[in-house]
Every structure is written in C-alpha cells, then in structure tokens.
Chain A
Amino acid sequence: MQNKPMMHGYLKLKLGEFELDSGDFSLDLDGVTVLFGRSGSGKSTLLRAMSGLDKRTQGILVVNGKIWQEGSRRMAPQARNIGFVFQDAALFPHMTVRQNLNYGMKRLPKGVAELSDAEFNEIVSRVGIADKLDRAVTYLSGGERQRVAIARALLSRPDILCMDEPLSALDWRSKSELLALIEDVVAAYKIPLLYITHSPAEVERLADRVVFMHDGKIETVETLQEALARPDSPLFAEEGVVSVLEGLSMPMEAGLHPVVMGEDRLWLSDLSELTQKAVRVRVLARDVSIALSDPKDLSIINHFKTTICELIPKGEHRTLVRLLMADGQKLFAEVTNHSAERLHLRVGKTVFALIKSVAVTE
C-alpha cells in the first residue's frame, strides 16, 4: 500500500439508554490501534459502527479515501474488506474447522486471488490449527476457537482486522499464548489491527496508538508513548503508574535473561516463552526505588544510573519521579514526599533507580 491506511469521521449510534457520539476523529491505522476504556464506554459499539455491523449508525466514516458511511447511508459490512474476530469467536457451529475457514475464502471479491495451498498452510500452521482442520468446532477449547476465528478472518484477505476483546473469555495461559500469536500475525502480514480491550497490560504489549473512550465519546487518540508519558493516563487507573521499557532480549546467562537497553541491561527471570527479540517490559512505578549512590550489597539486581527530569506531586504524600535512562527511555518511580525531601531530589540530579520487580508485558 502506498498511502498510510487511515480512517476519519464522526459516528453516532443510539442504543436504548446508551449513546455513542464519537466526536470527530482521525486515525492512522498502520500497526495496532487499541480502543481502550471501561466496560460501557462504547468501545464495542464504536467498532461495530466502524465495521458497519449496526444499521442504525449515523455519521461520516472515510477509510483509505473510500466513504463507508454518510449520514444514515452505510456501505454493507460485506463490502468493506474487514476481518472481525469476536469476543467468543463466533464460529459457525454447523461446520467443521475447515468449512469455517473456507467460508470467507469462497466469498472473495472478484479480482482478489484466492490464497494458494502453500499460503493457506502457512497461515493455518502459524495460527496453530493445522492438526484440527477436520474437527467439529463444538469440540474446540476457547483458545483453539479464537485461533480458528483469527485464521478465518485472515484467510478472507481483509484490509483491516478488527478484534473485540478476543482474550476476555480465556484463561491466563491461553491469553498469553494468543497475545503472542496476535503480535506475530500483525508483524508477519503487516495488517492494520483495531483491537478492543480494557486491560492496560494488553495495551502496553500490543498498541502503537490508543483511542481512549469514555461515556460513548472518543476522549483522545495518543501514541502509546504519549499515553504512558502522562501520569494521569487512564491506563494507570487500576494498578497505578507504569513504565514500559523497550529492549532486546539476549540469551540466558546465569539463569537470567538480559534485556539490553542501550548501555544498560535489565535482568529478567521469566522470559522462557519469549521468541521475539524486541520485548516490552512493564515496570510499576511503586516497584522502583531511588538511591543516591549505587548500592552493592542489595538483593535487587536491576540498578540504573538515571537523571531526574521531572517531579510530579501525586497527592496522598507521594511524589512521582520521572527518570531519564542512559538510552533516553523514561522510567517512573513513586516515592513518599518524606523520602523525596530526605534525599533532596531535584530536577537534573543523578540518582540510581532500583527496580524491585519487572514483568514482560503479558
């Protein structure tokens, strides 16, 4: 595609008491766009309106220069070239896995070549359902169903992939496996993904940009970096302020996995299932302590030399300290006002950040 895929418009949809009134929005679609908000904030309604799945949608929607919605006139969803993965997979129960996969392939528009057997096999094995093609869908586990749904959507060769909380019905293990799969699929096929979730961890893992929704409205659209840079981000509402550090994972040494970030190395103990090299690591601000000198005799292994770039009063006698790491990434530390006074923390001062615990975003 020569031009960056993008979407702009203004969508309205009234459903009983609830009213979606998105406001004007304009989105680049390349990579992963996450619609984030509490339940009831209108994420699903917005995505349904964007996909043309609700007749009552009103407004304007232009995608890659094509008009998808104008007033109450709506381009039918079957004409939009979108793939949709629903919360509970929505596989056709009267068909086998293979018949489900073929459903979209049989209905490709004229001029779009059907995938070759090799391409079919590639997708099916990447998604991990190659050995389940002749099963009835009723006998699949939740994770397997979602895999089939993802493959079914991919095989219909969509321009945009939509996913509505595809992990919400799964246990934690299937969740993390599927997240890795979604990352892999997006990277491999370079397909724009619109992804709904209310889990900050999923946002931090997948998103390139975040659409924040509240009360049926789009509040802001921010890049992930912007969204994580402001301490009052809705992403922090539940667990507190989080920093997401990006680095390259290296082979294991002494039972630990180093993640390289410029000059610095972050040591992780739980990287076993990770396949890709670039990783996002999630650090809670309250797990970061500050020392004025580099302590040697301490059980905490992750120490970084940093510079204080901002002190943000947080209320409740606590201060948020924004630290600049050697490679330019920012790290939040949360300390009490008392400690901040005692250590004479000032902008520009060099301090050591001690990270008590880190997690690869799951």
Chain B
Amino acid sequence: MDISGADLITMARYLAAGLCMGIGAIGPAIGQGMAASHALDGMARQPEMENSLLRTMIVGQAITESTGIYSLVVAIILVFVAG
C-alpha cells in the first residue's frame, strides 16, 4: 500500500488534534485544581461562606476552562472540518 500526500495530511491532522487536546488540557486542569483547592481551604476556614465560595469557584473555573475549550474547538476543526 502506497502512502500518498493525502494520507500524510490526514495523519498530521489526527496527530495535531491529539497534541492540541492533550497539551491544551494541562493548563485548565492545573488552574481548575488550584481554584478548587483554594476554595476548599476557604470553606474549611469559614464554613458559613460556603455558598458564595462555591458560586465564585464555579464561575472562575468556567472562565479558566475557556482555554481548554479553545483547544477542543481547534481539535474538532482539525479532525472533522479541516482537510
């Protein structure tokens, strides 16, 4: 079986999508973990603040997540749309 240029492009697309999602997930994961850990610290110290801490933590994590979502969108475009 011969490998043509189109196959190489397909291979590069899948490879790039995997790298994009894998590396792109590192940052948001660390950020979300840090947000959760500090929110837990705060909750342990001041249990009466739990409600507002939880809400702020979820919003903060959602914003942290947007970089991960960008890499997901790029990966989806690479796999499904590009080429």
A complexed with B? no
Report B's interface with A, CB cutoff 8 A: none
Report A's interface with B, CB cutoff 8 A: none
